[in-house]
Amino acid sequence: MKKIAVVALGGNALLRGNETGTIQQQEKNTYDTCINLIKLLDNDFNIVITHGNGPQVGNILLRNEAGYNTYKIPKMPLDICVADSQGGIGYMVERQLRNILAEKKIRKNVVTMVTQVLVDKNDPAFKNPTKPVGAFYLKEEADLLARANNFIFKEDPRKRGWRRIVASPEPKDVLNKKIIKNLVKKGNIVIASGGGGVPVYLDDKKKLQGIEAVIDKDLASALLAYEIDADDFFILTDVPKVYLNFGKPDQKALDTITVEQAEEYLNQGHFAAGSMGPKIKAAIHFVRNGGKETIITESTQLGNPKAGTIITQN
């Protein structure tokens, strides 16, 4: 039996911060990221790939506004926008993977799955939305949109404008987990739970309904990883290791740490809420729930047994 790895691609896997987001840029970035994933196949892993969708779903929301303002095309809710981004990003990742597998003469199937993730409609996050989505607006524009759509806006901490904020509830269950586990155990590469998954909840009649929310991608990936009994959980980011005092003269790279140490460093404030913090929380979730280890690193380091920061049980 081969080992199973869940690999969470960071936002820079498809779209870099200094880019406009053309399809040519995204496809090149996707190819460059995916070619490193093959190293895991060489190390005897079967893999499930998850990914972020922040820039892409933001662009979809912009198209929502433009289409409505210009042509009165009905706006789509956030769950539909997340599903749209899952399909588009999954298509790009799957196509580039197929090209790379063909180049390397590796015979494997690749499948993309639009994945729903269950949340609790009574999650406290719905009373305290914190997740920014979409474009930056002037205060006057934000006020108009808030009145027209019942949206909530907050000013960006870096004073770049006002952004819509939505709830980021805790993921409770990945609804396609059994199918994903079955497919990956048979050697297929599965792309799933993109952007944290499409957020759904059960109403009073036990029917699934979409909801306006964005689920944290790393937490949803950790949940999927332990639900399918993955051995390893890889979180890919833009730095080779996790650091204490990141960006300061006394920054220190972490090699192997326990979940207790990770929690201690997190509580000490070493990992920012908007960057490494959610990744450390996801790493802890996976290992606490029976996973062997979480590895946080950049994609070029895959396949190197000494790469990245490894978080273990003890």
Which one from 2, 3, 11, 28 is the annotated catalytic residue?
11
Beta strands in 161-216 (DSSP E): 162-166, 173-174, 189-191, 198-202, 208-210
Task: Tokens for 301, please give them.
Answer: 């380091």
Query: Phi, psi (5° rounding) for residue 63?
Result: -65, -35
Check if the beta carbon of residue 93 is closer than 8 Å to that of residue 190: no
For the question of residue 197 being annotated catalytic, the response is: no
For the question of residue 177 being annotated catalytic, the response is: no
Query: Phi, psi (5° rounding) for residue 162?
Result: -110, 135
Which one from 53, 54, 131, 176 is the annotated catalytic residue?
131
**Secondary structure (H, E, C), 220-266:** HHHHHHHHCCCCEEEEECCCCCEEECCCCCCCEEECEEEHHHHHHHH
Which one from 52, 88, 90, 217 is the annotated catalytic residue?
217
For the question of residue 217 being annotated catalytic, the response is: yes
Matching residue, tokens 């990770």: 262
The answer for residues whose C-beta is within 8 angstroms of residue 231's C-beta and 6 or more apart is: 3, 4, 5, 45, 291, 292
Which one from 177, 181, 241, 279 is the annotated catalytic residue?
279
Q: Is residue 120 exposed (0-12), middle (13-18) or buried (19+ Cβ within 10 Å)?
A: middle
How far CA 128 is from CA of 95, 154, 169, 176, 218, in Å, comes to: 39, 12, 10, 28, 20
What residues are annotated to the active site? 11-12, 131, 217, 279
